[in-house]
Amino acid sequence: MTSTLRPPPPAPPRSPQEARSPAPRPPRRGRSWRQALRRDWQLYSLAILPLLFFLVFRYLPMLGNIIAFRRFKPGGSIFGEYWVGLRYFRMFLTDPTFWEVFTNTLVLGALTLLFCFPLPIVLALLLNEVRARRFKRFVQSVSYLPHFLSIVIVAAMVMQLTSIEGTANQLVSLFGGDPVAFLQKPEWFRTIYVSSEVWQTVGWGTILYLAALTTIDEDLYEAARIDGAGRLRQTWHITLPGIRPTMMTLLILNIGSFLAVGFEKILLLYNPLTYPTADVVSTYLFRMGFQSSNFSYAAAIGLFEAVIGLILVLSANVISRRTVGTSLW
Amino acid sequence: MVTFGTKIDAPKTRGPDDSRGYRIFRVVNTVVLLGVVVVTLYPFLNIVARSLSEEAYIIAGKVSVVPRGFDLTAYKLVMSDSLFWTNYRNTVVYTVVATLISIVLTTCYAYVLSKPQLKGRGVLVGVALFTMFFSGGLIPNYVLVTSLGMKNTIWAVVVPNAISVFNLLVMKAFFESLPTELEEAAAVDGLNTYGILLRIVLPLSKAIIATMVLFYAVSFWNSWFTAFLYMDQQDLLPVTVYLRNLIAGATDAQQSGAADADVVQAAATLQAVTIVLTTVPILAVYPFVQRYFVRGVMLGAVKG
């Protein structure tokens, strides 16, 4: 993340002198790899296993994406058998189902962003106005709780709440309606998905904002009060600008993961009846790969998705740097 | 900030904070936050109530937060299922082993990355950072794990997600904040890098290691997809997949026209019980460990 977020430093800070002038060290240019290895080989040796992990389990699969351009045979080489060029890409780009799931992904991603990004800010601002410390602590502790649950548990809870005899339908019949099989109805899927997402993430999402809020200079509020600014105007002119770097960083991260909408949750909650709204790129890819055993086709879709994700996060970062001066790196 | 008197002040001395509008806001705010608490807790209470209720009351849609017709049959049923306990034990074993591996790898790498004078450090950081923004994807990962022969072994669950880059950055930031003098003095005393790490740095890092253990342990405890993907023997599954199969089974039954309504309903109670039994350990430790999580998240945000 960025160096622009500044919650109170949890670890004892170094004295300013130290920070400015680190221990004298030999000039960089003069040291060759040989010298570095001789001097620091023990340090490098500590990096071997983690590096091996990254190379094998992170970078090798990136190379493995080559099967998107090759014919892949299960049980054969992990890099496929022979070249087929862009065949699989052409296949999914002309596949109407792909565009359907792509649209679903955009809609679910946009809705998630629309609700799960601003609501933690609102909750943090509300919590920030609470004077009773114990009450504040209590609300915080409760609101963090869903973050620690497995997605399977959340999905199971959703199923119970929306089942025919569940709470949602108890409310429906309270208002005289007929019970609805919510999870079988495509028109309800987005609401259910986004609500459960909000339920699970909003509380936890306030942490960084609450930390940023404590770093805002009290004098600014004092000055604004003397100028006659009310609470609302103080919030608008001091509080919000104060947490803007945090907001931008989280926004960039959110946009970067835009396409990666909760694959696991959807996989648990959707069914053929709700495919029209629930099926997203990653779940479609999953079915193509593991139910239809079309690995190359699925890998092509996955590569497409990953590249778009990378482009999204890079462009969000550039825009943010140009407009508000916040950047992830 | 301005402190509030509960006494009614003379109108003239009221600052902007004490305005009537703001007081109304504070009341509304308290109500809204209480609403957040209720909405957050409701599903938990509902599940507990359902797990303890008699079948008939659930089917009639009469159970919300109070158990109706107290009944422990479902608990007895789930707890007498040996597969449930096998899977539960698997979860414990996977979590412990995976957390151990993760902590060792993360600590080693974070320590290396925290040495500013190390040649090639930038590259080592970059190798980790890039994976945050681009990943190989599901299919190549599956092909890799399969061809390494890790399917249906514990390794498929504990190795492929061993290092979380976020956790790595948190640890790196912590190591960077440690004073360098101690390590320098230890080096002068003839301790080598391993000695410094084990005897000087790690004892100073107990708090951060505890936080990391919690981060990793919770994520492995909760994970289900890797096991779902790489394991097809029932007795190897973690309890999350046990629950997943239970709810998937219920959904299938519902879709096939609810051939047997009783089966679906029984599944609903069993689900509730299984949810309760898998959530209890987390709820039990949550009050004690919550603050470590919060601290870890903030530490990760400071630098990175």
What is the structure's pLDDT at A279? 94
What is the structure's pLDDT at A212? 87
Q: Is residue B3 part of a domain?
A: no
pLDDT per position as a tens digit, B54-74 = 878 888 888 888 888 888 888
- Adjacent-strand bridge partners of A71: A82
* Mean pLDDT, chain B, integer: 85
Q: Is residue A67 part of a domain?
A: no
Concatenate the DSSP letters of all residues of B183-233 into one string: HHHHHHTT--HHHIIIIIIHHHTHHHHHHHHHHHHHHHHH--HHHHHH---
What is the structure's pLDDT at B31? 96
Residues of chain B with pLDDT > 90: what percent? 48
Q: Which of B25, B137, B298 sits opposite A65 (nearest CB)?
A: B137
Nearest CA to A102 out of A91, A92, A117, A113 is that of A92
Q: Residue A106 pLDDT more than 50?
A: yes
A78-82, A90-94, A236-240, B257-261: which range is least confident on average?
A: B257-261
Q: Residue B14 pLDDT more than 50?
A: no
3-state secondary structure at position A82? strand
CATH classification of the domain holding B219:
1.10.3720.10
pLDDT per position as a tens digit, B266-282 = 667 888 999 999 889 88
What is the structure's pLDDT at B136? 86
Tokens 């022969």 -> residue: B149
Q: Are residues B193 and B217 in the same domain?
A: yes
Domain encompassing residue A145: 95-324
Q: How confident is the model at residue A211 (pLDDT cuts 50, 70, 90)?
A: confident
Q: Which of B139, B223, B279 sits opposite A289 (nearest CB)?
A: B139
Spatial separation of the C-alpha atoms in residues B92 and B181, rounded to whole Å: 40
Domain encompassing residue B19: 11-71
* Mean pLDDT, chain A, integer: 85
Q: Are residues B226 and B143 in the same domain?
A: yes
Residues of chain B with pLDDT > 70: what percent? 87
What is the structure's pLDDT at A139? 95
Residues of A in contact with B106 (CB under 8 A): 50
Q: What is the mean pLDDT of residues A60-80?
A: 84
pLDDT per position as a tens digit, B154-185 = 999 999 999 999 899 989 988 998 888 888 88
What is the structure's pLDDT at A8? 43
What is the structure's pLDDT at A21? 45
Chain A nearest-CA distance from B58, in A, is 7
C-beta atoms of A148 and B301 within 8 A: no
CB atoms inside a 10 Å sphere around CB A31: 15
Spatial separation of the C-alpha atoms in residues A166 and A158, rounded to whole Å: 10
pLDDT per position as a tens digit, A147-176 = 999 999 999 999 989 988 888 989 998 898
CATH classification of the domain holding A131:
1.10.3720.10
Chain A nearest-CA distance from B37, in A, is 6
Q: Is residue B1 part of a domain?
A: no
Tell me, what DSSP letter sits at residue A138? H
| H or E segment and range at residue A70 | strand A70-71
Q: Are residues B253 and B265 in the same domain?
A: yes
Chain A nearest-CA distance from B74, in A, is 15
Q: Which of B174, B255, B290 sits opposite A11 (nearest CB)?
A: B174
Residues of B in contact with A222 (CB under 8 A): none
> Domain boundary residue among B71, B90, B116?
B71
3-state secondary structure at position A270? coil
Q: Are residues B57 and B205 in the same domain?
A: no
Q: Which of B46, B109, B160 sits opposite A161 (nearest CB)?
A: B46
Pull the structure tokens for residue B265.
């309903």
A245-275 as b/e: b if 16+ CB within 10 A: bbbbbbbbbbbbbbbbbbbbbbbbbbeebbb
CB contact A245 to B (< 8 Å): no
What is the structure's pLDDT at A29? 53
Residue type at A116 in one-letter notation:
C
Q: What is the mean pLDDT of residues A276-280?
A: 93
What is the structure's pLDDT at A43? 92
Q: Is residue A294 part of a domain?
A: yes
Q: Which among A248-252, B187-191, B222-226 has the top mean pLDDT?
A: B222-226
What is the structure's pLDDT at B300? 65
Spatial separation of the C-alpha atoms in residues A277 and B15, rounded to whole Å: 52
Q: How confident is the model at residue B105 (pLDDT cuts 50, 70, 90)?
A: very high
CB contact B135 to A (< 8 Å): yes
Q: Which of A4, A33, A58, A173 to mutate to test the interface with B (most CBs of B within 10 A)?
A: A58
Spatial separation of the C-alpha atoms in residues B200 and B190, rounded to whole Å: 13
Question: Residues near B72 by Cβ (< 8 Å), separated by ≥ 6?
Answer: B52
Number of domains in chain A: 1
**Which residues 57-86 in chain A show a CB within 8 A of chain B?**
57-65, 67, 72, 78
Q: Are residues B48 and B91 in the same domain?
A: no
pLDDT per position as a tens digit, B218-267 = 999 999 999 999 999 999 999 999 999 988 876 665 555 544 555 555 66
Q: Are residues B142 and B38 in the same domain?
A: no
- Rounded to 10 degrees, the C-alpha dihedral A278/A280/A282/A285 comes to 100
- Rounded to 10 degrees, the C-alpha dihedral B74/B78/B81/B86 comes to 180
Q: Is residue B4 part of a domain?
A: no
Tell me, what DSSP letter sits at residue A14? P
Q: How confident is the model at residue A72 (pLDDT cuts 50, 70, 90)?
A: confident
pLDDT per position as a tens digit, A11-27 = 444 444 444 444 445 55
Q: Residue B7 pLDDT more than 50?
A: no
- The answer to whether A170 and B57 are in contact (CB under 8 A) is no
